[in-house]
Each structure stands twice: as structure tokens, then as C-alpha cells.
Amino acid sequence: MAITWIDILSILRKIADISLVWLVFYFIIKNIRYNVKLSLLFKGVIIIIALKIVSDWLGFVTIGVLLEYLIQWGPIALIIVFQPEIRNILEQLGRNQLLGRHKVLTVDEREHLVYEIVNAVDYLRKERIGALIVLERDISLGNYIDKAKKLYADLSSDLLIAIFYEGNPLHDGGVIIQGDRITCAGAVFPTSNSTKLNRRLGTRHRAALGLAEETDAICLVVSEETGRVSIALKGEMLYNLTLDDVRMMLIDELKPKQDVDYTEEDVVEEEEIYEEDK
């Protein structure tokens, strides 16, 4: 039986249909991976579905009915409760971030970025100047940039120090870095309600963790009271880091994902470049 053009078009249509569905699933899973709240929601949905299957298999009528009502009306409740997260995902869908970070830095650019940030952090911690420095990665921070003071300036430790100097009107907000440039200052982020966060920590730490819970950004905090350095990453807060800890974490987290052959020799090479710059 000969294949006609109609059959070929029908096959291509089905392939395109399936590809679009998988693309949507890929984008949702990609965002859930870096969003602590959505990942917990996803796990909860999976548990409820599993309980429903088990209850039907074992013949548990009461729990089965309750789970059926929960599955029937749950989506409406989830849309209401998680409206901000859903809105962020839809916004990101329109920001052309499907292929990852907007700029892949070279080794030299990464080293310059890390060198300037570490120099600024060193000064800020010694002088007990509070700071919140955010590095954008795959998930766009455009909605926070839109509400902040635009700079689009070349990154330098002197500029970072000047921004967070107490007399600067922008020192209370956060700085967002895209690629190797400072995009904006005075940015305001959602604060975390996590009970794991030390109650003595201030708004900067809560804002850093809040952003790290919703995005894959690297959020670096310098405490105004103690001068200690912390990094919020992937929904967790790492406290009291040394400058070497900060430098190594930045180098590791900023390396391109396609660098699958990134070895210890590469790390040593970047360390040598850093030492020469010093």
C-alpha cells in the first residue's frame, strides 16, 4: 500500500503535536526543579494520585471518595493558592528563556566576574556594609529588574561598593547581575517564610532565600551586623562562608552546563588565573 502525501502530513502533524506536549512538560519540570514551593506541590500531587490508585486497588471506599473530591476540586484551590508562582512561569514563557541563560560566559569573563565580586565582598565584610548581590542564571529575573533602578553598567568591585555604601539611596535593595554586567540596583525580592532561617537574620537574608526558593539565581549576602557572608542557592542558605568558599562556589555554579568534561585541571587553571589577577 503506497503512502500518500495525506498520510505523511498526518504523521508530521502527530509528531508536532507530541513534540509540543513534551516541550510544555519540559518547561514546567525545568521551572519546578528550581522552585522549592512548586517542587513540594508537585510531590504532593504525586502522593495524592498514588494514594488514590492504592485505595481503589484495596477497595477503601471512604478514603477513595475523599481523594476523588480532592482531585476534582484541588486544581481550583491550587490555582488560587499558587497564583504568583503560576504567573511567574507564564511570564518566563514569554521571555525567551527556553534555551537557558542569555549569555554563556567565557573562562576569562567568569574569572573577571568572580574576581570583582570577591574583591567587593571582601571590602564590604571588613567595613560591615550590608549587601545583596544576585546573579541571574537560567530563570529570568526580568519582573524584578523592571521595578528596580536600571544601570546596565560594566561590573566592577568599586561600583558594587559604591552602590551598597550607606549614603547611597539604592543601598537597601539588591543588585542583579546578568552575564558580566550590573543590570539594576535597588531591586526588591520576596522574603522567605522558612522556619529553618535563623530569626536573628534580617530582611536581606530572607529576601535572598525567598528568591532562591523561586528561581535558580545565586544570591550573595553580606551581613551589616556581623560582616559574615552567606549564599542562598537552590532553596538553601549557606552561612558564614570564607572568601575562598565564595570564589569556588561562584566558579562552580557559573560554569556552562555543556562543560561535561570540566575537570579538576580546569578548576586549578581558573584558580591560577584568579591568583595572577590578584
In the predicted structure, residue 265 carries a pLDDT above the cut 60 = no
What is the amino acid identity at position 93? L
User: What is residue 258's DSSP assignment?
Assistant: T
What residues form DSSP beta bridges with 135?
Answer: 177, 218
* Count of CB atoms situated within 10 Å of the CB of 53: 11
In the predicted structure, residue 116 carries a pLDDT above the cut 90 = yes
**pLDDT confidence tier of residue 99, bands split at 50, 70 and 90:** very low
CATH 3.40.1700.10 for the 107-277 domain, yes or no: yes
Residue 43 confidence (pLDDT) = 76
In the predicted structure, residue 204 carries a pLDDT above the cut 50 = yes
Phi, psi of 153 (to 5 degrees): -110, 155
Q: Which of 106-110, 180-184, 197-201, 205-209 has the lowest mean pLDDT?
A: 197-201
Q: Which residue has the higher pLDDT, 54 or 258?
A: 54
Q: Which residue has the higher pLDDT, 185 or 14?
A: 185
Residue 186 confidence (pLDDT) = 93
Residue 17 confidence (pLDDT) = 86
Residue 264 confidence (pLDDT) = 47
> Please, what is the average pLDDT of the chain?
81
In the predicted structure, residue 164 carries a pLDDT above the cut 80 = yes
Residue 184 confidence (pLDDT) = 95
DSSP E strands: which ranges in 190-249?
A: 218-222, 229-233, 236-241
Cell of 1: 500500500
In the predicted structure, residue 201 carries a pLDDT above the cut 50 = yes
Q: Which residues contact 163 (CB under 8 A, 6 or more apart)?
A: 170, 171, 175, 182, 185
pLDDT digits (tens, 9 = 90+) for 127-157: 999 999 999 988 888 889 988 999 999 999 9
Residue 31 confidence (pLDDT) = 62
pTM: 0.65
Residue 33 confidence (pLDDT) = 62
Q: Which of 49-58, 177-186, 202-211 has the lowest mean pLDDT?
A: 49-58
- 125-129 — which CB contacts under 8 Å span 24+ positions? 125/222, 125/223, 125/227, 125/228, 125/229, 126/227, 127/227, 128/223, 128/224, 128/225, 128/226, 128/227, 129/161, 129/164, 129/165, 129/166, 129/171, 129/222, 129/224
pLDDT digits (tens, 9 = 90+) for 64-96: 888 888 878 877 877 777 676 666 666 655 554
Average pLDDT over residues 267-277: 50
Q: Tell me the angle at which helices 157-164 and 107-126 cross, rounded to the nearest 10 degrees.
A: 40
For CATH 3.40.1700.10, the residue range(s) in the chain are: 107-277
Give the strands of the sheet with 149-154, arranged side by side: 149-154, 181-187, 174-178, 131-135, 218-222, 229-233, 236-241
